[in-house]
Structure 1
Amino acid sequence: MYLSKTIVFITGAFVTHKSWDPWAAYFKTKGYTCLVPPWPYKDGTVHELRNRQPNDKDLAGLRLSQLIDHYGDIIKSLPEKPIVIGHSLGGLIAQVLINRDLVSAGVAIHSVPPKGVFSFEWPFLKSIWKPLGYFTSVKKTHLMSLNEWKHAFTNGMTAEEQLLSYEENAIPESKRVLRDALSSAAKIDFNKVHQPLLFITGSTDHITPNSLNYENYIKYDKNHSFTDYKEFAGKNHFVIGLSTWHDEADYILSWLDILSHSEKK
């Protein structure tokens, strides 16, 4: 196994890819080449993307399979298989890319689960019901309200922190992409041999509860592939934007360092 020094950061739903900028800058200081590509139709500022709401037909028509292929094509254009680090829906995409043997290692942070892994916890159901929008038109995108954001992403933070994070990060989303996360587009072969995969979760996450991430983790066959799990106490779904994001970043760096040393033995 060869562990790349290139990292592709994969953004989740509802947030700008710019939320990864501090991470990319930090990982670059550790010797990594970092790429933070936006989703299709999301290469704009938060203000620009919100101004297209709700009639952004291009974004509204985006499907999960297209999104996965978008990142797959970026990865295939690189000289070597990179490491991928994905948050939320980006964590699901990271899992699919690992399943397709396109990367040298992957990290799924507070990941949306693959098809067949589900939670019936009330905070989870409350968080996803409006964004899925089953009684609304898929021709229109969905922008979380501030109250939705407070529950799904920033529970436990001060009102001032919640408002600032919403104004700086929250953008409209495709309902089709979200619904596709429950479809065959999100299917994983858990028994397939795969490159190292780390799950990171938080104890106070509403939209992807730690119990859901743990169920996702235990689905994988551990007999032939390295799959790891780490839970951080007191972390909500806004984990990559919290002031404590170095906790997760440094853990990932240590994990990658262990992999690098193990491959040299």
Structure 2
Amino acid sequence: MLKLNELRANVRTSKAFCGSLLLAAFLLPGAACADQTTAPAAAPRVEVSSARISTAPRTIVFIHGMFMTPKAWDNWQAYFQARGYTTLAPAWPLHEGPIQQQWSEASQARLGKLTLDEVVESYRQVLRRLPEKPIVIGHSMGGLVAQKLLAEGLAAQAVAIDSAPASGLIVLQWSFIRSNWPVISPFAPANKAYAPSLESFRYAFANCLPDAESEFLYRNYIVPESRLVGRATSEKVAEIDFSQRHGPLLMLAGENDNIIPASLNLKNFGKYSDESSVTNFHKFNNQCHALIVDKHWKDVADYVGVWLENQ
């Protein structure tokens, strides 16, 4: 597991190809071509602390990402409830109800107007009603929301899994551009929901999985999504003050993630500069974006559980 104050000593840095600066500016206004970094190949196993602070939070709020619903966290809720945590997995606005219902034309028409501001605010309201500051665990765009809530002091600890980037962060990796293009393309109607095909899901989310498993996940977990939410990562709502002190943060990445490359998660991690705050990074080898729902989800949950017990 990589710690913030070890980043510069342990990470090899190589210049990103800057000839595509115009393309980067086109995709995400204000983004700049920057260094890409890669984490060390191996991360040490985390050992469980023998004495956990008695005031550690015991409530977890799970935050799903784009194209998913709270169903993505069903196994995780059971896992952490069995370990004594109280868990909640609120839906984003307009993401309640059965999967098939969300594929209806009426649902998609409403969904197209959803913004990231509305998503973040819905979770602020959830956290403010809780009796304690909780742990927040988010995946993909939910990982960015988790970082945001931690930065705002509404959460005690956060885990960001395959997190969407904070404002201004980008990598010039073809899989990142190809996977996100249907959402961020200026030729696509901004206020019309995007319904991914099985083929596009396989490339963006499930590129490391067998076809049968990827099709099962697509049929049982995936829903259409608002393009406005995805485009907001270049806006003010996605800004984070990386210099301020914050509660413990764990950032996780999948080595083979196409839609949110591990190098982008590592770049996000490296932006945090307060050395008095706990900020850790870990990359799961041979994993892709579907790592919270695929057959290896428990490996990720185990790692998160051990990390939480050590805070």
> Separation in 2 of the partners of 1:204 and 1:96?
25
Look at both structures and tell me which one has the larger radius of gyration over its CA atoms: 2
2:160 partner SS:
strand
Contact 1:115–1:186 under 8 Å retained in 2: yes
Which residue in 2 is equivalent to 1:212? 264
Does 2:251 align with 1:199? yes
Match of 2:70 in 1: 17
Q: Matches of 1:158 and 1:96 in 2, distance apart?
A: 34
Once the 2 structures are TM-superposed, how far is the Cα of residue 160 of structure 1 from its aligned partner?
A: 1.2
- Contact 2:66–2:141 at 8 Å: present in 1 too? yes
Q: Which of 30, 37, 43 is the aligned partner of 2:96?
A: 43
Equivalences for 1:176-255 in 2 at 5 Å?
176-255=228-307
Corresponding residue number in structure 2 for 1:84: 136
Give the Å deviation of 1:109. Answer: 0.3
| Partner residue in 2 for 1:120 | 172
Write the distance in 1 (CA, Å) between the matches of 2:56 and 2:168: 30
| Aligned equivalent of 1:263 | none
**In the aligned structure 2, how far is the partner of 1:176 from the partner of 1:77?**
27
Counterparts of residues 66-215 of structure 1 (less than 5 Å): 66-215=118-267
Retained in 1: the 8 A contact 2:183–2:231?
no
Paired AA for residue 220 in structure 1: Y
Deviations 1:109-153 (A, max 9, x none): 010010011111000110000122421222321011111101000
**Deviation of residue 76 (structure 1)?**
0.3
Query: Partner letter of residue 165 of structure 2?
Result: P
Gaps of 5+ in 2: 1-52
Asked if structure 1 preserves the Cα contact closer than 8 Å seen for 2:205 and 2:288, the reply is yes
Give secondary structure in 1 for the equivalent of 2:124: helix
Residue type at the aligned position of 2:126: I
1:246 deviates by 1.0
Separation in structure 2 between the aligned mates of residue 189 and residue 199 of structure 1, nearest angstrom: 16
The answer on whether the counterparts of 1:59 and 1:173 sit within 8 Å (CA) in structure 2 is: yes
SS of the residue 1:23 aligns to: helix
User: In the TM superposition, what is the alpha-carbon distance from 1:201 to its structure 2 partner?
Assistant: 0.7
State the SS of the aligned residue for 2:176.
Answer: helix
Distance 1:223 1:5 in 2: 25
1:3–1:83 CA contact under 8 A, matched in 2: no
Tell me, in whole angstroms, the C-alpha distance in 2 between the residues paired with 1:93 and 1:139. 21
Partner residue, 1:5: 58
Deviates more, 1:134-143 or 1:78-87: 134-143
| Structure 1 residue 184 displacement after superposition | 1.2
Distance 2:191 2:262 in 1: 32
Does 2:122 match 1:64?
no
Aligned-residue offset at 1:17: 1.6
Maintained 8 Å contact 1:143/1:170? no
Larger displacement relative to structure 2 (243-252 or 1-10):
1-10
Secondary structure of 1:239's aligned partner = coil
- Root-mean-square deviation (CA), in Å? 1.3
**1:77-117: CA deviation from partner (whole Å, max 9, x where unpaired):** 00110000000000000000011000110000010010011
Distance 1:119 1:66 in 2: 27
